[in-house]
Amino acid sequence: MATSQAKIMSEFTNPDVEVLISAEQIKEKIRELGADIARDYAGRNPLLIGVLKGACTFLSDLIRAADIPLGIEFIAISSYGAEMRTSGEVRILKDLDVAVAGRHILVVEDIVDTGLTLSYLLANLESRGAASVKLVALLDKYERREKDVAIDYLGFKIPDKFVVGYGLDFAERYRNLPFIGVLKDPTQ
């Protein structure tokens, strides 16, 4: 099926989601990000750490766009309840399977929102003795930032809207949409 036709079909079958960033735009951006990462990390065998579950789609496309030797790992984290959130403390639900000491780490995240989760995670990885810790994020919801987080490689800045698709969910739905969209009515 032609790409544009596939895009129309996926929009058509998801009338509750309005397209914000198309599959073609994502593909093109990932091509650029992969080339940048391959150039910057050549000869350094970076370890790309995907934050489950949202970043797994992004990570799997990104590594195929970065033509250098690299490793991948996954980490699953969960933030505490609303009252604890301002502390930025998160719980590690699934930790890495390897040590990061001396490795060049590139954290792969789907979206940076308040920045609380990421600032904790980046500091945590640095404290484990990584040679370097950088961040690649597909989306930056910059208007909601509470903690400064340096995004070293960024896909798109987006407005303060709840987005789904391309790995991002609402109650575990919509992760498999090939585009990023805005949920029209999250209560439906």
The binding site for ligand 5GP (CB under 6 A) comprises 54, 109-118, 141, 162-164, 168-170
DSSP assignment of the chain, as one string? --HHHHHHHHHHT-TTEEEEE-HHHHHHHHHHHHHHHHHHTTTS--EEEEEETTTHHHHHHHHHH--S--EEEEEEEEE--HHHHTTT-EEEEE--SS--TT-EEEEEEEEESSSHHHHHHHHHHHHTT-SEEEEEEEEE-GGG-SS----SEEEEE--S--EEBTTB-BTTBSTT-SSEEEES-TT-
Specify whether 113 is catalytic.
Answer: yes
Choosing from 113, 148, 160, 185, which is the catalytic residue?
Answer: 113
Question: CB of 1: closest distance to ligand 5GP in angstroms?
Answer: 27
Minimum CB–partner distance for residue 74 and ligand 5GP (Å): 13
For the annotated catalytic residues, the residue numbers are 113
